[in-house]
Amino acid sequence: MDSTVTDLKNPFGDVYNALDLKVQRKAMKSAMRREGNRLKRTASANLQASGIGQGTSRNLSKGIYTRVYPDRYGAGFMVSVKPHRGNNVKGIHTNRKGIMKPVLMWAEDGTRSRKTGRRKLSFFSKSRITGKRIRNYIRGGHSTGRMKRYAFMAKTERQEETSVENNLFGTFQANLDKAAKKQGLM
């Protein structure tokens, strides 16, 4: 008599254990990529709804990118607008003068008000990004303004935080079933 018991209501564990580690990782990576691209489309829609980039001829949503983590870092993915320079530049907008600027990063977090001119006064404060002590200056010229915080990525995170795990597991399970059928296990 066979000592292995198959649970007919939940065959996921048996299929998962029957497949090779490489196939399991490929199925998980594919699920991560699919979910990341879905979140990227949602973030792009939120960017369009925020109203930024109405006067540009180039599509700002190209600056939103997805990255699936390599196997050595574990399973995971990220959707970001922070600049990343590699073989192809990500998170950077090229304006009409050909200058590359991280516009989406500024739009997500907002920028502080700044002025032109000579330095009148300097003081130390904590950086809101790194927490380190930095030197700030008060300048004497006219104001160059600030960019308001659009927070389209934060809105995407709030909208999709409940559905990510469910979608991820469903896609992972479908990928495992597909791989098992391909190998003749089902």
Mean pLDDT for the chain overall: 86
Region 14-42 average pLDDT: 88
Q: The pTM is what?
A: 0.80
- Ramachandran area for residue 61 (φ above 0: left; ψ -120 to 50: alpha; else beta): alpha
Q: What is the mean pLDDT of the segment spanning 55-67?
A: 87
| C-alpha 138: how far from chain center | 35
Is residue 1 classed as helix, strand or coil in its secondary structure? coil
Quote the pLDDT of residue 5.
46
> Residue 22 — very low, low, confident or very high, per pLDDT cuts 50/70/90?
confident
Tell me: pLDDT of 52 over 70. Answer: yes
High-pLDDT (> 70) share of the chain, %: 93
Residue pair 12/4 in contact (Cβ under 8 Å)? The answer is no
